[in-house]
Structure 1
Amino acid sequence: MMSKNPNLTLSGPDLAALLCSRVCHDVISPVGAINNGLELLDEGGADADAMDLIRTSALNASVRLKFARLAFGASGSVGASIDTGEAERAAKDFAVAEKKTEVIWNGPRAIVAKNRVKLLLNLFLVAYSAIPRGGVLEVTLENPEFDAKFKLTSKGKLMRLPPKFVEISTGTIEEAIDAHSIQPYYTVLLAQECGMTLDHSASADELVFTAVAAAA
């Protein structure tokens, strides 16, 4: 049986508020860029550039919102299941919109518990943040419907283990959780709720993040 992480102490309202702040932070930049493009059109200059900015930013905002709906939102009723194919599409679309990381997805497509899919996508965000200059992120799913194992391998320049994720997952964080650290916090919380154990490792060539179903 998994032991409870002593860092997971946020109240429901605080967790909801910080997750909302995180989602708003993710979409405010592309939405602001859309507004800038519209202002350029209103001024009557650089029409082609303005339309390109609007199209790119609208796509980015749409992709981020669709990803957030799966990773943070309800995505159906309580206890619902989700197709891992949706998670794969959301992750790959996210990377395409960002234009800096290639996503390789391995493993069977399956209908699995909603929180497991949310955990997978949040661990994807953790692994994605580990290669801020871009690179390759390989996602591998094993037996996702039962004794699941998720393995995410990040390779790229300036790789680094996300410090807040490491601190929260190992129970060593001392600072209060804020909008910047809520996503790794939520990842660790989801793992606990799913009965899965998180781990991470680092070498000169790659960073590996895993979530494994704990033994009953």
Structure 2
Amino acid sequence: MRIVIAEDLAILRDGLAQLLTLRGHDVVGAGDAAELERAVAARRPDVAVIDIRMPPTHTDEGLRAALDLRRRHEGLGVLLFSQYVETRFVSQLLAEGSAGIGYLLKERVADVDDFTDALHRVAAGGTALDPEVVTQLMAPRRRDAGLASLTPREREVLTRMAEGRTNAAIAAAFVITERAVEKHVANIFTKLGLLASGTDHRRVLAVLRYLEHR
């Protein structure tokens, strides 16, 4: 395979390039997004291995470059290789077509053969996603599903909770018992997946979840 590795840490970039070269691959390195774009244009690789946070700001340059490269180079496989799970642009990347997309976490790749296998899958148009990445990507959908499962009365109770009302005030507003409100609140916690915890205030978390999706 022809591979471009975009990684600003020279030791990691050169070490990975050497390992892949020893396995018969044609590898070139890039230290930032600009070098990555030039290398892809010149070498026409089968797959680009891209770190998410790259110079100059070390925020999302790699992700932005991946989005741009996928749009300009049809068939290019992209394997994001990072120590961070960043879902904002990854969701957009997958939404534009999941064929030839991978996302692996550096600290969870312990075997070079597993890594090269992931590269082959991505280059061939398949996917290679770390389970933790999948979990993070699916989390917003689970939150939406939890809110969607609330009954009309439970949504009304949650709305009043967001207004800062106590259970007693909610009971008075709906002309129901405070015990009935407590049952509604318990159902809300269950459906939103908010388990009892000594460190988290479930009422606040439920309200935050509601406000996120208004």
TM-score, length-scaled by structure 1: 0.25
- Asked which structure has the greater RCO (Cα within 8 Å, sep 6+), the reply is 1
More helix by share: 2
